Amino acid sequence: MSTAPPGPDVLHTGSGTGDTLAAEAVALDLAHAATDLRRRFDLPEDVVYLDGNSLGALPVGVAEAVTDAVRVQWGRDLVASWNTHGWWEAPTRVGDAIGRLVGAAPGQVVAGDSTTVRLHQALHAAAALRPGADVVVTDPGSFPTDLYVTRGVADQVGWDVVLADPDEVPRTLADLAATGRRVAVVSLSHVDYRTGRLWDLPGLTRAAHDAGALALWDLCHSAGAVPVDLDDHGVDLAVGCGYKYLNGGPGAPAYVYAAARHLPHVRNVVPGWHSHARPFAMAPDHEPADGAARLRIGTPPVLSLLALEAALRAFDGVPVEAVRARSLSLTRFLRRCVAALVPGAAFVSPDDDDRRGSQVGVRHPDAYGVVQALVARGVVGDFREPDVVRLGVAAPYLTHAEMLVAARELAAVLAAGEHLDERWSRRATVT
């Protein structure tokens, strides 16, 4: 049991660092009381939930909305609900609601399907908007589905995939230009799912444009946690999922954004009947709808869309900038608590506020065991290959006091060697 740190005895003496941090937690929670939205969520009392970046917590009102959708809209009003309860417009209506959180004016976002499908669609749209260019630049550290889909689309449209760390993208673009290569799209995640690193969306979007390329951003780990401002920064295309910081529930619909200036020219690689200008004309030939509706596919998951719509109300009246300010305070404090109580903790998340998304990751050789032992103590984070204890901080429903609890439990797990328990030697399907 060589990995136990020497530090945590300060916890048990009830003096020094532990007391100071506890007093600070109280003061910080008071200072940030205005953005404490815990009462808008239905969370178990005895859990510190640090996995809202994998599955967001259940917002109050979602269960009622789903019950109404099932019992009244489906059960009683039946097929008329496509008209009377606005089922038909749900993908664009929910898209606009997501747009408010990512800085997209109405009419540019459509919700439905998964991030994987939406990324496939967005990359194909990029290919059609940039005929003659034959390179896609992406981050080798991207979430796996993003890499798989990017390679898949590249094979289909005849692109070369050039991998570059986001920091290196401007130089890579210059090198490609110097050799006469034309880049169709730079496709990156706004926040790295594993490290929590927040990339420079405005700067990298400009760099893509300077190279004649489009900028496509995956917002899975930023939407609902970090201001994105898609319109302000001139982003061309974006995708993201509904079940992380947007709290839409398991398998919640994803979304795709296409800037208004591109929409009239956007080609939908899956031109299903819901993307038709006159779907009920049942015409044999496809004629794309105007606006974001042209990125619809087929019949949307209505119950899930209505759940997501209700979930988004948890953000009502609260600007994303305020959520971000709370998130930064929480992650800064969590980091400080861990550093104080687990000496030598190896952080993977940046210390610098401008470079940190909304999570704190710590490397540990037995990270899987550490996460499981933490869960057993009521602190729910998750494990990411190869060695990351990932503590996601969904600011609306977390407090500074909980950050201290999480750090204390982490220290206690390591001090007692609980991460080495036999029970954690077999991994569950979902880690």
Ligand X SMILES: *Cc1c(COP(=O)(O)O)cnc(C)c1O
Whole-number minimum distance, CB 221 to ligand X, in Å? 5
Question: Would the annotation count 143 as a binding residue?
Answer: yes
334's CB contacts (< 8 A; 6+ apart) are 360, 391, 393, 403, 406, 407
- Cα–Cα distance, 277 to 264 (Å, whole number): 12
Q: Which helix (H) or strand (E) holds 372?
A: helix 367-376
Upper half-sphere CA count for residue 127 (Cβ side, 13 Å):
22
Q: What b-and-e string marks burial along 336-356, b requiring 16 or more CB atoms within 10 Å of the CB? A: bbbbbbbeebebbbbeeeeeb
- Cα–Cα distance, 398 to 12 (Å, whole number): 25
Question: Please, which of residues 171-190 interact with ligand X by CB under 6 A?
Answer: 189
Q: Rounding to the nearest 10 degrees, give the CA dihedral for residues 99, 100, 106, 108.
A: -20
Type of residue numbered 155 = D
Cis check for the bond before 386: say yes or no (omega within 30 of 0): yes
Type of residue numbered 294 = R
Whole-number minimum distance, CB 154 to ligand X, in Å? 17
Whole-number minimum distance, CB 349 to ligand X, in Å? 15
Nearer to ligand X, 175 or 385 (CB): 385
For 100, counting Cβ atoms within 10 Å of its Cβ (0-12 exposed, 13-18 middle, 19+ buried), the class is: middle
Report the catalytic residues. Answer: 143, 218, 243-244, 390
Cross-strand partners of 160? 135
Nearer to ligand X, 208 or 341 (CB): 208
Whole-number minimum distance, CB 30 to ligand X, in Å? 33
Question: Would the annotation count 88 as a binding residue?
Answer: no
Nearer to ligand X, 35 or 116 (CB): 116
- Counting contacts by CB under 6 A, is residue 304 touching ligand X? no
Q: What's the farthest any 2 CA atoms get from each other in the chain?
A: 77
- Cα–Cα distance, 325 to 33 (Å, whole number): 12
Binding characters for ligand X, 80-119, by CB under 6 A (x = yes): ----------------------------------xxx---
Binding characters for ligand X, 129-158, by CB under 6 A (x = yes): --------------x-xx------------
Nearer to ligand X, 17 or 116 (CB): 116
- Counting contacts by CB under 6 A, is residue 3 touching ligand X? no
Whole-number minimum distance, CB 198 to ligand X, in Å? 13
Interface with ligand X: number of residues (CB under 6 A): 13
Nearer to ligand X, 4 or 117 (CB): 117
Question: Would the annotation count 195 as a binding residue?
Answer: no
Question: Please, which of residues 194-233 interact with ligand X by CB under 6 A?
Answer: 218, 220-221
Tokens 């090198």, residue located = 175
Binding characters for ligand X, 235-264, by CB under 6 A (x = yes): ------x------------x----------
Pairing mode of beta strands 379-380, 48-49: parallel
Question: Would the annotation count 217 as a binding residue?
Answer: no
- Counting contacts by CB under 6 A, is residue 192 touching ligand X? no
Nearer to ligand X, 237 or 341 (CB): 237
CA 424 to chain centre: 28
Whole-number minimum distance, CB 367 to ligand X, in Å? 18
Q: Are 134 and 182 in contact (CB under 8 A)?
A: yes
Q: What φ, ψ does residue 8 adopt, rounded to 5°?
A: -65, -5
Question: Would the annotation count 397 as a binding residue?
Answer: no
- Counting contacts by CB under 6 A, is residue 431 touching ligand X? no
- Cα–Cα distance, 104 to 44 (Å, whole number): 34
| Binding region for pyridoxal 5'-phosphate | 115-116, 143-146, 218, 221, 243, 273, 299
Residue ranges in contact with ligand X by CB under 6 A: 114-116, 143, 145-146, 189, 193, 218, 220-221, 241, 254
| Binding region | 115-116, 143-146, 218, 221, 243, 273, 299
